[in-house]
Structure 1
Amino acid sequence: MKLSRTALFALLPLLLIASLLLAGCQHEPPPWQLTSIRGHMPDLSFKLTDDSGKSVTAADYKGKVTLLYFGYTHCPDVCPLTLAHLHAVMQKLGKQADDVRILFVTVDPARDTPAVLHDYVRAFDSHAIGLTGSPSTIESLVKRYRASFSREPDKHDSGYEVSHSSAIYIFDRAGKARLLATPADTQPQLVHDLHLLISSGD
């Protein structure tokens, strides 16, 4: 059947829509519910002291999905809320949580000794590990991931507080930066993306 020029012009919009729909079906949307930082952040790299007093590097956590967080044990609100949040996520992961490590790097090494860190992080979750180091080492690591912290003026009654960024950096099993979580991200979002990272074998 031969179509007239008028009929062909009338069909063009429909053909264009159909082709766009087909193209959309061929490209699945990214699976991540958190913010992807792949290619935008450096690999996991550090040399610190863990909460048992042992010297460790990022290589000690190869094979695990790692969550890097900067905080301190005297933090009045954000840190305990974040660790409680991550504990709930670990519980929802079930057995898969054994493939995850929460690395809590202190930004207050003067007060956060390995023993203090150990008692603090393990009170929240058994998959959490406290890490500390010299002030210069910690400052370099914070800058490496474009985070920030600053010590507030001393308070005579309760010591001092440390203002710090609150993002969670997520690395795959090979230590590659993959995702960024913020306080606005929900437990289901974290569980979803951690499940994908763990199951992918990356």
Structure 2
Amino acid sequence: MTGPFAAAMLLGAAALSLAACDDRGQKQTAAPRAAATPAKTKLGGSFTLVDQNGVRVTEKQLLGKPSLVFFGFTFCPEVCPTTLSHMTRWLKELGPDGDKINIFYVTVDPERDTPKQLKTYLTSFDSRIRGLSGTKAQIAEITKNYNVYYKRVPLANGDYVMDHSTMVYMMNGQGRYVGPIGYNEPDDHVMPLLRDLIAGRPPKSRKPDPRTAIERSAT
């Protein structure tokens, strides 16, 4: 996907996808960062990570069938468990077609999110969701390729949380980015997108749901 439409869609996606948790656990949009995020007509690229079972995963696993790629961390108080719960529901609603799509949950906190930690965490969600981790350098590479914002935020008690982008990346069976799913986007918006993605149909032009553009709920 190239041209003005793709650039506009990516810029809009960046504007709705950035969220942060402050030291009281309050999630806030990061509008200044959205403005600073460059529009890119191509997202994705090569990576080498390992899943929760220690199996090596590369960009080649995105080929052959479509994928959803989501970035987060297992100590995330709201955005990640909410999105993973939604993904679990989407897979159930898709029925047999749920086996025709990959879902990857990529950590932005590799220090704590080892394969063992990811495996324990993901038992609460659909077993088809694969958690991916790696070294700091490997995570830096994939987040750069996907234009993902993330930042470690120290807390007063000596612990830390991670600010991170909240959107889900839709990738087609050729490993190409085709569009975003916004945080907390309603199922009646998401399910047609997923069915089109599985069928290999291009995403329809649409305006982001205003409910996903600004999120200030507690996390």
Listed as ranges, the matches of 1:72-111 within 5 Å are 72-111=73-112
> Does structure 2 retain, via aligned residues, the 8 Å contact 1:169–1:177?
yes
Deviation digits for residues 80-112 of structure 1 (CA, Å, limit 9, x no counterpart): 011011111111111100011210000111111
8 Å CA contact 1:107–1:149 kept in 2: the answer is yes
Deviation at 1:201, TM superposition (A): 7.7
How many residue pairs get aligned? The number is 166
Q: Which residue of 1 aligns with 2:147?
A: 146
Equivalent runs, 1:1-202 vs 2, <5 Å: 40-156=41-157, 159-200=159-200
| SS in structure 1 at match of 2:140 | helix
* Partners of 1:122 and 1:201 in 2: CA distance: 32
* SS of equivalent residue, structure 1 residue 162: strand
- 3-state SS in 1 of match to 2:42: coil
Secondary structure in structure 2 of the residue aligned to 1:152 = strand
State the Cα deviation string for residues 174-195 of structure 1 (Å, max 9, x = none).
1111111111521122211111
Where does structure 2 lack aligned partners over 5 or more consecutive residues? 1-8, 14-39, 203-219
Residue type matched to 2:143 in 1?
V
Do 1:104 and 1:121's aligned partners in 2 also have CA atoms closer than 8 Å?
A: no
Q: Name the larger-Rg structure.
A: 1
The alignment's C-alpha RMSD in Å is 2.1
Unaligned stretches of 5+ residues in structure 1: 1-34
- Stretches of 4+ aligned residues off by more than 2 angstroms: 41-45, 154-157
* DSSP 3-state at the match of 1:48: strand
Aligned residue type for 1:176: R
SS in 1 for 2:57: strand
1:200 to partner: Cα distance: 2.8
Give 1:168 shift: 0.5
